[in-house]
Chains A and B, each alone.
Chain A
Amino acid sequence: MSQTVMQNRRSEIETQPDVELRKVFKVFNGETAVRGIDLDIRKGEFFSILGPSGCGKTTTLRLIAGFEEPTGGEVLICGQSMNGVPAHQRPVNTVFQSYALFGHLTVWDNVAFGLRLKKCSHADVQQRVSEALTLVKMDSLSRRFPAQLSGGQQQRVALARALINRPPVVLLDEPLGALDLKLRKEMQVELSNLHQKLGVTFVLVTHDQEEALSLSDRIAVMNGGRVEQIGTPSEIYESPLTPFVADFIGDTNLFQGKIDQSYSALLNVVTHKGLKISVCPQDSWNGSHGGDVVVSVRPEKIQLGSQTDGMTHAPKTRDPMNCYEGRLKHIMYLGTHVHYVVELLTGENLTVLQPNRPESRIDLYTPVQVYWSAADCLALTP
């Protein structure tokens, strides 16, 4: 009996989120940076906060770290309310965007800083610092000063410094923003490996959607101080809930319109410019007849054919197809793919992404046909 109680309690502890934000607001000099955020970040999760600059994502991270106090609401870490708890007493450590390494200390002393404050024994400091430096592959450069290191090396030291206190939650504020593309890819892999090896909760703030998609277990997309959607990378990409998320994560074509006819599994939408689109709405769709709607179609879901081909390449599906005539307005060669802009007869511009195949080359300004399945569209509330 008591054993089951224990087990229940343990599972309760394990399911308790590491970081919780409850209706958190932050106002700076009359400007609201964060407008009522609710977040549950689970234990051991790689959680990303993604958004354009100025959306309040860094402020959210600073509220968790304790560098800012919320104007309203509550931040909880490991179930404890953090309101009024100063940064140096919170069980989190941060990797700063600009690394913020201590220039007057060597790599070794930078990493040992946190342990020495905790009055760890000399032997303990030696062992843990060398472990942490080995973990980030910086053990050979421990006697150097930060100014003698490259950006990627400084990044590793900043990581080791944040991990040395073994915090349950590590906060990363655009940690890879200052690195060049190739190094960024390398560090992404290493971050992911570190996360798996250590099993602690990572909270990453980034404006790079690719980084968020490739690293995270779950993503919160922020815009204008609010969370627009929280979900796994595939949920965010495949079924965005708002036009902003659809547009911000990957490329998309958005059509604003009204619902003309609605059946159980099909919507007929008329855009403001008069284009008629058939949409298979997702399960969560709850819009009504005559209401405003935004239709999103990913460029890679659209097929393109020269007018003479007709729809011969179109796959035979049960779902109705949307098929339109247009004119090829712009071609951008991307190597693996070709990016087309098609102007439809109604005047709307459509972005189409096609794999680069020599036989599918089409000349500029020629009349073309575009088509996509109604199942490949999303109906979103504006």
Chain B
Amino acid sequence: MNQTAPQSKISWQLLFTLLMFAFMYVPILILAVYSFNESRFSASWTGFSLKWYASLLQDSRLLSSLRDTLFVGCFAVSISAGLGTMMAVGLFKYRFPGKSLYRGMSYLPLIIPDIAIAVATLVFLVSIGLSRSIWTIIAAHIVFCLAYIAVVVSTRLSSLNPHLEEAALDLGATPTQAFIKVLLPELMPAILSGCLLAFVLSMDDLLISSFTAGEGANTLPMEIFSRVRTGVKPDINALSVVLILFSGVLAFTAEYLRYQSDRKKLS
């Protein structure tokens, strides 16, 4: 009797949770619904249509900014993956004077506001007289991608058995073999999830990109931002839905991979 009573009526916790979810997801839901609206104006619903999705595919400006975004993200993330992993491993393994200062400085980009990084990078580029291009965006993105990947990898490192590398050496592996055959595979899940996180952040970045972008370089967030300044058009609604779905699939894939590797180990 006592046990069934709380289930029969709606608790305030449940109400609160539902309210929270509504707060977070109703705007997105409305956006998704209006992306199928035939009318140019969001205010009225005139009928179901896919024409805004079709117009996306014909919008060459939009497609080229998408290409730029993906290029910047992939390039910055793959360089950061290598550097960030080495940084985390180096900070974990070696003792050297000024190590904690070094560690603090390498993780600083995580706390510094984007606008500060953006302005600082711009001032720096101007002062050394480097002309801005897509490569300067990539360089600026590496700064924060590196820090994110290093943080995720070093978390994994500190939960690993500290003797793994020694065990490999003990069995006859050279230090290089021990790194490639033991440490790297053990770190791979963390490196991948760090990369996904960094990629999403790079894709999302508007501030740093717009300050460091040069002639001809135009990322998707920059393009969207320049369009909504003159009012939200339904094709932007459609684009947003595509982006949300894309990141949803990305997150799901990452989660699925993690689940698979856990199941392999624990079933």
List residues of A whose CB falls within 8 A of some B CB: 65-67, 86-89, 92-94, 96-105, 113-114, 117-118, 145-148, 161-162, 165
Chain B facing A: main interface SS: helix
Contacts of B266 in A (CB 8 A): 147-148
10 A-B Cβ contacts within 8 A? Answer: A88-B174, A93-B170, A97-B163, A102-B186, A117-B171, A117-B177, A147-B266, A148-B267, A161-B171, A162-B170
CB proximity to A under 8 Å, residues B218-267: 264-267
Contacts of B163 in A (CB 8 A): 96-98, 100
Complex Cα distance, B172 from A93, in Å, reads 9
List residues of B whose CB falls within 8 A of some A CB: 161, 163-164, 166-175, 177-178, 181-182, 185-186, 188, 264-267
Given A145-B264, A147-B265, is A100 in contact with B164 using a C-beta cutoff of 8 Å?
yes
Contacts of A94 in B (CB 8 A): 166-167, 170
Given A98-B163, A145-B264, is A104 in contact with B186 using a C-beta cutoff of 8 Å?
yes
Asked whether, in the complex, the Cβ of A88 is within 8 Å of the Cβ of B173, the reply is yes
Contacts of A113 in B (CB 8 A): 168, 171, 173, 181
The answer, among B161, B164, B169, for a CB contact under 8 Å with A87, is: B169
Asked whether, in the complex, the Cβ of B265 is within 8 Å of the Cβ of A93, the reply is no
Asked whether, in the complex, the Cβ of B164 is within 8 Å of the Cβ of A102, the reply is yes
Complex Cα distance, B167 from A165, in Å, reads 13
* CB proximity of A210 to chain B, nearest CB, Å: 26
Asked whether, in the complex, the Cβ of A93 is within 8 Å of the Cβ of B185, the reply is no
* CB proximity of A248 to chain B, nearest CB, Å: 27
* CB proximity of B1 to chain A, nearest CB, Å: 42
Asked whether, in the complex, the Cβ of B185 is within 8 Å of the Cβ of A104, the reply is yes
Contacts of A103 in B (CB 8 A): 186, 265
Given A102-B182, A148-B265, is A114 in contact with B171 using a C-beta cutoff of 8 Å?
yes
Complex Cα distance, B50 from A256, in Å, reads 97
Asked whether, in the complex, the Cβ of A86 is within 8 Å of the Cβ of B186, the reply is no
Contacts of B171 in A (CB 8 A): 88, 93, 113-114, 117, 161, 165
Asked whether, in the complex, the Cβ of A117 is within 8 Å of the Cβ of B166, the reply is no
Extra 13 A-B pairs, beta carbons < 8 Å, given A67-B166, A117-B177: A86-B175, A88-B174, A92-B170, A98-B161, A100-B164, A100-B166, A101-B167, A103-B186, A104-B186, A114-B172, A117-B173, A118-B172, A161-B171
Closest to A105 in B: B185
Complex Cα distance, B167 from A104, in Å, reads 14
Count CB-based A-B contacts (< 8 Å).
74
Complex Cα distance, B265 from A252, in Å, reads 48
Asked whether, in the complex, the Cβ of B265 is within 8 Å of the Cβ of A145, the reply is yes
9 closest Cβ pairs, A-B complex: A114-B171, A100-B163, A100-B167, A147-B265, A104-B185, A87-B169, A88-B169, A117-B172, A94-B170
The answer, among B172, B186, B267, for a CB contact under 8 Å with A165, is: B172
* CB proximity of A124 to chain B, nearest CB, Å: 15
Contacts of B168 in A (CB 8 A): 102, 113
Contacts of A114 in B (CB 8 A): 171-172
Given A67-B166, A147-B265, A147-B266, is A100 in contact with B172 using a C-beta cutoff of 8 Å?
no
Contacts of B177 in A (CB 8 A): 117
Complex Cα distance, B182 from A145, in Å, reads 14
* CB proximity of B177 to chain A, nearest CB, Å: 7
Contacts of A67 in B (CB 8 A): 166, 169
Complex Cα distance, B266 from A315, in Å, reads 63
Contacts of B169 in A (CB 8 A): 66-67, 86-88
* CB proximity of B171 to chain A, nearest CB, Å: 4
Asked whether, in the complex, the Cβ of A96 is within 8 Å of the Cβ of B167, the reply is yes
Complex Cα distance, B183 from A102, in Å, reads 9
Asked whether, in the complex, the Cβ of A88 is within 8 Å of the Cβ of B265, the reply is no
* CB proximity of B104 to chain A, nearest CB, Å: 22
Asked whether, in the complex, the Cβ of B172 is within 8 Å of the Cβ of A88, the reply is yes
Contacts of B161 in A (CB 8 A): 98-100
Contacts of B264 in A (CB 8 A): 145
Contacts of B185 in A (CB 8 A): 102, 104-105
Given A104-B185, A145-B265, is A65 in contact with B172 using a C-beta cutoff of 8 Å?
no
* CB proximity of B183 to chain A, nearest CB, Å: 10
Complex Cα distance, B188 from A96, in Å, reads 24
Contacts of B181 in A (CB 8 A): 113
B170, B174, B265, most chain A CB atoms within 10 A: B170
Complex Cα distance, B177 from A268, in Å, reads 66
The answer, among A87, A101, A147, A148, for a CB contact under 8 Å with B166, is: A87
Complex Cα distance, B172 from A165, in Å, reads 9
